[in-house]
């Protein structure tokens, strides 16, 4: 692995860890600036290394080479006990769920994060590999709908997968 790719993967992991810190404690001083800086650095280096748009499996394989055994929570989807799993309603909804980031920081959960949550729920439900069109539709849904709609969709997918004995969960 060349140094540019290694630096890009390190920046990707820093961004992930910064994002986890933001979700764990959104009121931490300097968090918004740290998240913005980490995102800009990761985007720049991932673009320069030709990694933007690569499948998650490729990125995670490279991450495993640089950080053996490290498995990020977010790209693999919410897991029981993870911060993200706490954000997704686990039962019937009577009211729209509040956007946790909007409530904590004044800025909404991004469209990319909403799309990633949908993708993670589908993969965990056993959909398997997603094609380019699948990913585009997920991006469109993440951009078109706010947190309350995406949280409801993810909740439905997760509840359906837990009640279906043929899934991998």
Q: What angle (nearest 5°) sits at the alpha carbon of residue 51, between those of residues 45 and 55?
A: 145
pLDDT tens track for 13-50? 888 888 777 766 666 777 778 888 888 898 899 989 99
Q: Is the pTM of this model over 0.95?
A: no
> Nearest CA to 139 among 109, 108, 102, 113?
113
Q: Name the residue with higher pLDDT: 59 or 79.
A: 59
> Nearest CA to 48 among 17, 14, 15, 7?
7
Residue 71 has a pLDDT of 65
Task: Assess whether pLDDT exceeds 80 at residue 153.
Answer: yes
pLDDT tens track for 75-103? 334 443 344 445 677 778 888 888 777 76
Cα Rg of the chain (Å, integer): 16
Q: What angle (nearest 5°) sits at the alpha carbon of residue 12, between those of residues 64 and 155?
A: 90
Residue 110 has a pLDDT of 84
Q: What angle (nearest 5°) sits at the alpha carbon of residue 58, between those of residues 56 and 64?
A: 100
Residue 77 has a pLDDT of 40
Q: Name the residue with higher pLDDT: 7 or 33.
A: 7
């Amino acid at each position: 692995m060349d140094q540019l790719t290694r630096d890009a993967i390190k920046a990707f992991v820093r961004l992930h860890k910064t994002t986890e810190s933001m979700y764990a404690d959104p009121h931490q001083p300097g968090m918004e600036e740290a998240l913005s800086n980490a995102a800009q650095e990761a985007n720049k280096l991932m673009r320069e290394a030709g990694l933007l748009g690569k499948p998650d499996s490729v990125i995670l394989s490279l991450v495993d080479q640089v950080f053996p055994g490290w498995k990020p929570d977010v790209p693999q989807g919410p897991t029981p006990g993870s911060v993200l799993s706490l954000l997704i309603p686990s039962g019937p909804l009577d009211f729209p769920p509040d956007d946790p980031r909007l409530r904590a920081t004044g800025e909404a959960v991004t469209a990319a994060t909403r799309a990633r949550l949908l993708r993670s729920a589908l993969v965990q439900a056993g959909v398997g590999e997603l094609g380019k069109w699948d990913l585009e539709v997920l991006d469109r849904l993440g951009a078109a709908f706010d947190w309350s709609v995406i949280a409801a969709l993810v909740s439905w997918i997760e509840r359906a997968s837990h009640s279906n004995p043929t899934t991998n969960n």
